[in-house]
Structure formats: structure tokens, C-alpha cells
């Protein structure tokens, strides 16, 4: 069912539609052969929620703007829809695998895709995304960038892709959250197989992180990192404990 209201992207009063925050295609990996995907919620009192097609919001986008963002969604799924393989491994001087090579022929488009998910997560009222609070300046900057197809500038936003190679739950989608690395503010945003750090701070990534930034080059890197002892592993452990206590 559609409702007439102001579209948050074009700012025009139009019928609004059920728009996905994370593209529907990414939930295929979450569901597998099941009819429903299980969402890991940010609220310990209700860690999980079943969904057939993902999280939608009928108060944010008109059909035309949703289709426009869908072009970015399709490209994002093309690049990040499947896990990287061993053939893409990048090794250090000691022959230790440290990253994956990601072939991306339009890095600006991939960056706009990541920003579009972060922006949709910010403007939705769904509690899964309640920790995404960009503020008026970033919300408007990203809106204009998505509306007009502008360039993403490195001084404004940086992106790092991470693959937890030993994550037993790597098809899951966790709630996004904001952290510091070490003094740079960045959002953690998840799709199956990947975690993205999206910097919204004025300070830029330094040291090891700076070498893995998803910048304007064809052969981009995705960091290869262990899952154990990460905040993600601790969160999944809390979810598992909550589920066991229900039974």
C-alpha cells in the first residue's frame, strides 16, 4: 500500500512505497534454503526477528527514487554479493594472507552504494538501525550526493571493506554501530560476508587502515581478519546465549 508524503530523497510529495534499507538481494544469502531470514537485533530483550524479504520502510522513498537507488544496489550486489575466494588473496612479505583483491570497475559507484545504505539506515525509524545517527550535515550531504550523482570526496568519507575469514556466521547481518579506529569515528555496516567501515569523521584513517581504503582504483583491497575476539564475535556470543536461555 502506498501513502502520499514527502520523499526523503527528492523532497517531493508523492506516493511512497515499501523501500528496502539493505537491498533485498543480500537477504538471499541470509535465508539460504529457509523461507525466512533471522535478524540480529540491537536490543538484548529481543535479539532476533524473522523476515522473508528484509527490512523495509514505507515512509522514506517514492518509487522513482527507490528505483534510482536500486541501480546502486544492483552494482553493490555485483561487487559484494558473494564472498572473496582464495584466488583473490593478497599476501605480505612473509607470505601471510592479509587481504583480498576486489575487482571494482567503478569505485565511485560502489562508494555511493555504501553511503546509500548508511543514509537509508539513518532516515528510517526501524529499530534495527537505531544506532545510525549521522546528523543534519551528513544526512543532507549524502542526500544531495545520491540525488545528483556527485563525486564522493576522500576528505569527507572513506571506506574499508573487511572479511572475517573464520566467521561461522558470515551470512548474517548485524545491526550497524559506530566505533573509533583508534581515534577516527566510523560506522560498522554489515552485509553477508562483509563488514564495511564508513568514516564520517573529519579525521582520516591512518597507518595500516590507510593502506586498505577503498579508493578510486580498479584493484581494491578487502582486509582479511580473524573473527575471534572482535566486537562482532562478542555480540554473536551474546545473541547465542540469549537464544539458549529462551529454550
pLDDT at 31: 63
pLDDT at 3: 60
Encode 106-139: b = buried (16+ Cβ within 10 Å), e = exposed. Answer: ebebbbbbbbbbbbbbbbbeeebbbebebeeebb
Eight-state DSSP code of residue 232:
H
pLDDT at 171: 77
- Residue 50: which H helix or E strand, with range? strand 48-51
Q: Under the phi-then-psi rule, with left for phi > 0, alpha for psi from -120 to 50, and beta for the rest, what region is 207? A: left
pLDDT at 28: 79
pLDDT at 34: 60
pTM score, whole prediction: 0.88
pLDDT digits (tens, 9 = 90+) for 205-241: 776 666 677 765 556 889 998 888 787 877 666 665 6
Residue 188 CB partners (closer than 8 Å, separation 6+)? 174, 176, 177, 178, 179, 195, 196, 197, 231, 232
**pLDDT < 70 regions, the chain:** 1-3, 31-53, 207-211, 215-219, 235-247
Amino acid at each position: 500500500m502506498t501513502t502520499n508524503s514527502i520523499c526523503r530523497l527528492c523532497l517531493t510529495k508523492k506516493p511512497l512505497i515499501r523501500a528496502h534499507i539493505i537491498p533485498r538481494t543480500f537477504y538471499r544469502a541470509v535465508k539460504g534454503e529457509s523461507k525466512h531470514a533471522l535478524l540480529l537485533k540491537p536490543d538484548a530483550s529481543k535479539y532476533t526477528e524473522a523476515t522473508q524479504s528484509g527490512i523495509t520502510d514505507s515512509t522514506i522513498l517514492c518509487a522513482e527514487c527507490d528505483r534510482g537507488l536500486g541501480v546502486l544496489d544492483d552494482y553493490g550486489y555485483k561487487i559484494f554479493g558473494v564472498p572473496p575466494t582464495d584466488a583473490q588473496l593478497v599476501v605480505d612479505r612473509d607470505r601471510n594472507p592479509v587481504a583480498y583483491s576486489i575487482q571494482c570497475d567503478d569505485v565511485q559507484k560502489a562508494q555511493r552504494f555504501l553511503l546509500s545504505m548508511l543514509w537509508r539506515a539513518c532516515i528510517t525509524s526501524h529499530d534495527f538501525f537505531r544506532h545510525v545517527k549521522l546528523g543534519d550535515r551528513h544526512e543532507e550531504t549524502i542526500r544531495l550526493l545520491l540525488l545528483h550523482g556527485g563525486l564522493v570526496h576522500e576528505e569527507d568519507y572513506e571506506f574499508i571493506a573487511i572479511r572475517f575469514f573464520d566467521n561461522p556466521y558470515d551470512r548474517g547481518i548485524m545491526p550497524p554501530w559506530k566505533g573509533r579506529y583508534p581515534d577516527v569515528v566510523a560506522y560498522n555496516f554489515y552485509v553477508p560476508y562483509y563488514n564495511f567501515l564508513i568514516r564520517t569523521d573529519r579525521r582520516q584513517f591512518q597507518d595500516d587502515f590507510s593502506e586498505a581504503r577503498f579508493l578510486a582504483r580498479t584493484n581494491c583491497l578487502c582486509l582479511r581478519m580473524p573473527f575471534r575476539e572482535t566486537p562482532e564475535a562478542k555480540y554473536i556470543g551474546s545473541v547465542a546465549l540469549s537464544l539458549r536461555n529462551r529454550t
